[in-house]
Chains A and B, each alone.
Chain A
Amino acid sequence: MSEQTIMLILKIVGLYLLAGAIFSVIFLLKGLEKVDADAKGTSWSFKLLIFPGLCVFWVKFLLDWIKVKS
């Protein structure tokens, strides 16, 4: 693999995670309790703990959130 290919992959991964981080902040403030009822009234330390995972698996939660809304 060339330097360009690896850089491209890294950039795509980076953008995906960045989008995930932005989504996750909004999701933690507004969506979490709607998608998982067990998460009602959980502490900020819990939210901080799941934040990195949300940045990676955010697409799944976006879809869940859309499903709950409609």
Chain B
Amino acid sequence: MGVEYAGVLWNKQKKQYDKIMAFAILWMVILFVVLHLVFQPDFTAETLIIRTSAFVAFTLLNFILIIGPLARLQPAFLPLLYNRRHLGVTMFFFAAIHGIFSIIQFHALGNINPIVSVFLSNTKYEAISEFPFQVLGFFALIILFLMAITSHDFWLKNLSPKFWKGLHMMVYLAYTLIVLHVATGILQYENNLLYWMLLIGSFGLVAGLHLASAWKERKWRKTQVYQLEKDNFFEVATVKEIPDNCGKGIWIADQNIAIFKYNNCLSAVNNVCRHQMGPLAEGQVVEGCITCPWHGYQYQPEDGQSPPPFHEKLETYQLAVLNGKIWVNPDPMPEGTYVAPIKITD
């Protein structure tokens, strides 16, 4: 599917989320500034700006990263997933304030170019306690910048979903760089217990939740052992277990497949929505089209194509029905290939 592009897509729900986000950030700022003034009152305004924006950006980034695994472990968190984009762009703005103010504060006074100075003012790359931690933050900020400027759906389509996804997966590289940046940074500036606890705690939470959701997914995949008939068809489900106009997701031979039952027919397409990887099997067939549960992109079940005038295409798969059992051939047909729907007799 694909809707015409608008600037920022705000609907009632998104406005609500953005309001909550704005309030949460406001409180984070107030909390941090007050605590800082109470415990370390003799600091300049610049330092306060640098530290507050760092704190807000890092907190938001941790929050953004735990949304994915949380939603996989507990579907009640899914609405947060759909509203991650504005969080990401906001996080970038705070990270940028932090980076720019740091460069001005620490590097703009000398007579070499401030960015060159980030790289050359400290070159003790072999020392942990004096490591040039700002370089790590610099590269992380560049990744966050590339992600922020490509966050609109226009980019998903024009850079191709594969490239876009790859670019946005670099958030994990950025996160690693930032954790190291903060660790080596507080080692030099603020070696106190509270900072270490916050850093290790948030990293532990992000890593732990990712491991837990990967574990759950692996367990689920292990239950997906199918019997091979012949000609590469596997028995994967019964006709009865899929309600009308609904789908079932299966994982077989590294293929994520959605089988749909509609109009007394069965069809199978790739389970990954071309918009933002939404799970199509959890959507329904509405007016003859598979409708993604996340943002409503639509696909025709028989050929995996979005109805005109849209141009998204999914891979399709061959099915067979025998004695009420559904068999699937996990070799994907090229995107948009027509596969005749299987009539359900009985």
Query: Hey, which bits of chain A sit against chain B, CB under 8 A?
Result: 1, 3, 6-7, 10, 35-36, 38-43, 45-46, 48-50, 52-53, 56-57, 60-61
- Answer whether residue B194 sits at the interface, using C-beta atoms and an 8 A cutoff: no
Q: Are A41 and B116 in contact (CB under 8 A)?
A: no
Q: Is the CB of A49 within 8 A of B119?
A: no
Contact partners of B146 in chain A: CB under 8 A: 56
By a beta-carbon cutoff of 8 Å, the part of chain B in contact with chain A is 2-8, 112-113, 115-116, 119-120, 146, 149-150, 152, 154-155, 157-159
Instruction: Tell me whether A6 and B119 are in contact (CB under 8 A).
Output: yes
Chain A residues with CB under 8 Å of B2's CB are 38
Pair A3/B7 contact, Cβ less than 8 Å: no
Contact flag A42-B112 (CB < 8 Å), given A6-B119, A36-B158, A50-B154: no
A24 to B154, CA, bound (A): 15
Name the contact of B7 in the complex, choosing from A6, A40, A43, A61 (C-beta under 8 A): A43
Give bound CA distance, A39 to B155, whole Å. Answer: 12
CB contact between A40 and one of B4, B116, B150 (< 8 Å): that residue:
B4
A3 near B116 (CB under 8 angstroms)? yes
Bound CA span A48–B5, Å: 12
- Interface pair B113/A42, CB less than 8 Å apart: no
Q: Which residues of B contact A41 (CB under 8 A)?
A: 4
With most chain A CB atoms within 10 A of its CB, the pick from B4, B5, B112, B119 is B5
Query: Can you offer 25 A-B residue contacts whose CB atoms are under 8 A?
Result: A3-B112, A3-B120, A6-B119, A7-B116, A10-B116, A35-B158, A36-B154, A38-B5, A39-B4, A39-B154, A40-B4, A41-B4, A42-B4, A42-B5, A45-B8, A46-B152, A46-B154, A48-B7, A50-B154, A53-B149, A53-B152, A57-B150, A57-B159, A60-B159, A61-B158
Q: Which of A3, A6, A38 has the most CB of B within 10 A?
A: A38
Minimal beta-carbon separation of A22 from chain B (angstroms)? 17
The smallest C-beta distance from A64 to any residue of chain B, in angstroms, reads 8
Overall SS of chain A's interface: helix
Query: Which residues does chain B contribute within 8 Å of A49, judged by CB atoms?
Result: 7-8, 152
Rounded to whole Å, the gap between the CB of A4 and the closest CB of chain B is 10
Q: How far is the CA of A48 from the CA of B149 in the complex (A)?
A: 11
From known contacts A7-B113, A52-B149, A53-B149, infer whether A42 and B6 are also in contact, taking CB-CB under 8 Å: yes
- Shortest distance between the CB of B124 and any CB in chain A (Å): 14
